[in-house]
Amino acid sequence: MTQPRDVTLSQILTVAQMRAAEDELVAGGLSVEALMEVAGRGAGEYVRRLAAGRSVTVLCGPGNNGGDGYVIARHLMEHGNPVTVVAAREPATAAAINARHLFEGNVTDGHVIVSGDVFVDCLFGSGLSRALPEDLLALVKGLSAAHHLTVAVDLPSGIESDSGAPLNHDLPQNDVTIALGAWKQAHWTMPACANMGVLRLVDIGVTLRQNAPRLLLRPRFQAPAPDAHKYRRGLLGIVSGAMPGASILSATAALRVGAGYVKLLHPDSRLAACVAPLPELVTTAGAIDDLVSDPRLAALLLGPGLGRDDTARRHLETVVTRGVPTVLDADALMLLGPDIPLKAPTILTPHEGEMAALERAFLLPANGTRLHRAKALAKQARATVVLKGPDSIVVDASGRVVVAPRASSWLSSAGTGDVLAGLIASRLAVHGETLRAACEGVWLHGEAARLCGPAFTSNELAQAAGRALAGALA
């Protein structure tokens, strides 16, 4: 089945997958030169619009990334835009040599740092295999400092494509990064993604790769059906604990994004009575075993404010044996291990600290990229995992991966994780699909943060979740 182009263009490829995709296009009758022409012209057009007649300096390396640079320079020259090429090394691939021959403009060798308005980095792309030598690092840094804007083509030079790891210190900050053909892991992985500025993608006709991670796109939410009622829309039970404020934050968010009924299930009526009530939130106090046996429950959330004592552990064991789709967050993740088998579709939402605890509990090595670690945990725990952070990743037990674009750094405040757990649980109560609920929750969280602007509280974030959903209604 052919996929819509925006789905194909949301895939995130490794260097090996990108090479295979390019080989497939070449096997289909295109030459590398023709692909370079499409990629270079596409990037060149972004640069031309950005430069708007101002001077452009293109730094070209020896490989095909450098080849793209000559195509970009030719495109700019043809449109009358002043352009200079700095050839850091002589072109070494057939396609790059060809592109060099076709460029008839000004080429210098980089011994003198030229200044100008827009600097285009085509030194290395996905073929970078080791740290930049001192002379090339000094050249990239010098040229970036001598121009008003820095644009990286495919990847900023010095960044490893598959891990997002910087191979050199002190790499320049980019204003724009133009990915060619497909997103690479580095475009959405910390720390590299924070250094790339605005991200753009040039389509060169790459087709969909099996099982490639994809970028989280805006979901489409439906209004409740005409015959909806509160139970049919989904009853979410949020198990409260030693710190009820955390579960109130989860509930505040959950109430706004789909579930028709959100109930706070509290084991201790005295503590429950201390919490400022929300008029729309029903709080029931009693034995947790009884409260979670309500057959109308469509989803459960356990963890925010739970505590880590024996009572908390008993509540965890009760909830996971109940057989209702469940979100486990915060303290619940510190108590979970292979001795507590998950009986229902489950979503785990660890931050780095909770992830490390889960890796210890499940005897997993804590090495490799965050993506590999999240995949390993999802497989081992047989759950969907949301590995939180500036670059959150969602992985399900079958290995499907969705990567979230970097969200507002104002989210780095206490309580925003409780809000996320509430959002995910609410969506889970609506339809019961773990990967979908996790993705919708992460998207709503990032969008609510965007709507809040700078300096918000986690309660304000939860309040904004309804507006985030309203903006993405089908």
How far is Cα 94 from Cα 166, in angstroms, rounded to an integer?
28
Least distance in angstroms from the C-beta of 122 to K ion: 5
185 touches 12 (CB < 8 A):
yes
Q: Which does 62 bind (CB under 5 to 8 A by kind): K ion, ligand ADP, ligand NPW, none?
A: ligand NPW
Sheet holding 282-285, edge to edge: 214-215, 401-403, 393-395, 384-387, 346-348, 326-328, 297-302, 235-239, 261-266, 282-285
Looking at 10, 55, 57, 65, which residue binds ligand NPW (CB under 6 A)?
65
Task: Give the binding range for ligand NPW (CB under 6 A) out of 72-80, 123-131, 313-321, 341-349.
Answer: 123-131
Q: Which does 298 bind (CB under 5 to 8 A by kind): ligand NPW, K ion, ligand ADP, none?
A: none
How far is Cα 106 from Cα 73, in angstroms, rounded to an integer?
10
120 touches 59 (CB < 8 A):
yes
48 touches 40 (CB < 8 A):
no
Its sign, for the CA torsion 175, 85, 168, 367, is positive
Least distance in angstroms from the C-beta of 409 to ligand ADP: 4
Q: Which does 415 bind (CB under 5 to 8 A by kind): ligand NPW, K ion, ligand ADP, none?
A: ligand ADP
Task: Give the binding range for ligand NPW (CB under 6 A) out of 3-11, 31-39, 270-278, 279-287.
Answer: 31-39
49 belongs to the binding site for ligand NPW (CB under 6 A): no
How far is Cα 190 from Cα 193, in angstroms, rounded to an integer?
5
The reply to whether 382 sits in an annotated binding site is no
Its sign, for the CA torsion 130, 131, 136, 139, is positive
154 belongs to the binding site for ligand NPW (CB under 6 A): yes
How far is Cα 391 from Cα 147, in angstroms, rounded to an integer?
29
63 belongs to the binding site for ligand NPW (CB under 6 A): yes
93 belongs to the binding site for ligand NPW (CB under 6 A): yes
Nearer to ligand ADP, 99 or 393 (CB): 393
Cβ atoms within 10 A of the Cβ of 196, count?
A: 23
Least distance in angstroms from the C-beta of 354 to ligand ADP: 8
Q: Which does 37 bind (CB under 5 to 8 A by kind): ligand NPW, K ion, ligand ADP, none?
A: none
105 touches 69 (CB < 8 A):
no
The reply to whether 121 sits in an annotated binding site is yes
Q: Which does 321 bind (CB under 5 to 8 A by kind): K ion, ligand ADP, ligand NPW, none?
A: none
Nearer to ligand NPW, 40 or 446 (CB): 40
The reply to whether 417 sits in an annotated binding site is yes
Q: Which does 351 bind (CB under 5 to 8 A by kind): K ion, ligand NPW, ligand ADP, none?
A: ligand ADP
Least distance in angstroms from the C-beta of 35 to ligand ADP: 35
32 belongs to the binding site for ligand NPW (CB under 6 A): yes
Contact residues toward ligand ADP (CB under 6 A) are: 330, 351, 388-390, 392, 407-409, 411-412, 414-418, 420, 445
Looking at 42, 47, 68, 234, which residue binds ligand NPW (CB under 6 A)?
68
Nearer to ligand NPW, 97 or 243 (CB): 97
Least distance in angstroms from the C-beta of 123 to ligand NPW: 8
Looking at 126, 144, 247, 349, which residue binds ligand NPW (CB under 6 A)?
126
Nearer to ligand NPW, 188 or 261 (CB): 188
Looking at 37, 121, 331, 447, which residue binds K ion (CB under 5 A)?
121
22 belongs to the binding site for ligand NPW (CB under 6 A): yes
124 belongs to the binding site for ligand NPW (CB under 6 A): yes
Q: Residues annotated in the binding site for (6S)-NADPHX, as ranges? A: 64-68, 125-131, 154, 246, 305, 351, 418
List residues binding K ion (CB under 5 A).
121, 125, 152-153, 157
List residues binding ligand NPW (CB under 6 A).
22, 32, 35-36, 39, 61-68, 92-93, 124-133, 154, 180-181, 204
